[in-house]
Amino acid sequence: MAVAGDYAAAAYAQPQKMSCIASRAMVREAPRVDAGAGSELLRGEPFLAMEVGGEWAWGYCGADRYVGYVPAAAIGAATAPTHRISTPSGLIFGNADVRAAHVGELPMGSLVVATGREGAFHVTDIGFIHHRHLTPIGEAAPDWVAVAEQFVGTPYLWGGRTRSGIDCSGLVQMALGAGGIAAPRDSDMQLAALGKPVETPKRGDLAFFRGHVGIMIDETNLLHANAYWMATVIEPLELVATRSGGDQRPLIGLRRL
């Protein structure tokens, strides 16, 4: 769950700032691998640990204050990232050569520490990453809607924030983040925090439903990750708002950033 109000500070120790060291880690409601997950922590993102014991750590994500449990093995000492993955997947190589061994990959939004450059590759704390897959932190994508469009076809996953699986508010958060706009994690909080109400949609407007959100790619079509199709799709806003048996009705309103 996201932190709507701070927990009683006197009840807990000072949070310990850490960073995710796994490629990604689900943020779960309880310290069990079968517990529900409301969000996902990506490599390099900060995690404020309130309690670490055994195999699990409890705390909140530094970017959006989303509270939950992550595997203790997925977090480590805090880092100072310099770059973020700006493509759906960023490949990690063993050497500064496109023919070198592919040793891993990171999802969009992951944060890394670049310490140098060898040709077309950045030397990072986890290997060599091509400069086409990285963007300096603080440099925003010129068209965040185009970033969101790269997720078309991604499976729907409650709590997901990556090309492997994403949910409606995760799609909005990741796309806006690439454009340099911070967004809360959940759709109800996004409705409260983002944009101003408008009547007629245009590209880049956010369409809010009961427990759901999508992105207008033009005046009539909505891009959204949804459980109806179990995928990220583009379809007419009117169809989504009137679909019998759909989980997105009714349309609450449009917000323009």
Q: What CATH fold (topology level) applies to the domain 83-136? A: SH3 type barrels. (2.30.30)
Which pLDDT belongs to residue 232?
A: 98
What are the structural domain ranges in the chain? 9-77, 83-136, 144-256
Predicted local confidence at residue 243, as pLDDT: 83
pLDDT at 187: 96
Q: Report the C-alpha gap between 186 and 2 in whole angstroms.
A: 7
**Per-residue pLDDT, 178:** 97
Determine the pLDDT at residue 246.
Answer: 55
Mean pLDDT across the stretch 232-257?
86
C-alpha pair distances (Å), 19 with each of 41, 44, 124, 183: 9, 5, 15, 20
Given this chain, do its domains 83-136 and 144-256 carry the same CATH topology? no
**Architecture of 144-256 per CATH?**
Alpha-Beta Complex (3.90)
- Mean pLDDT within 186-209: 97
Assigned CATH for 9-77: 2.30.30.40
Q: Region 226-243: what's the mean pLDDT?
A: 94
Per-residue pLDDT, 10: 39
Residue 245 is predicted with a pLDDT of 58
| 16-20: strand order across its sheet | 37-42, 24-28, 67-71, 56-61, 46-53, 16-20, 75-77
Mean pLDDT value across residues 123-149: 97
pTM of the model: 0.92
pLDDT for the residue 248? 54
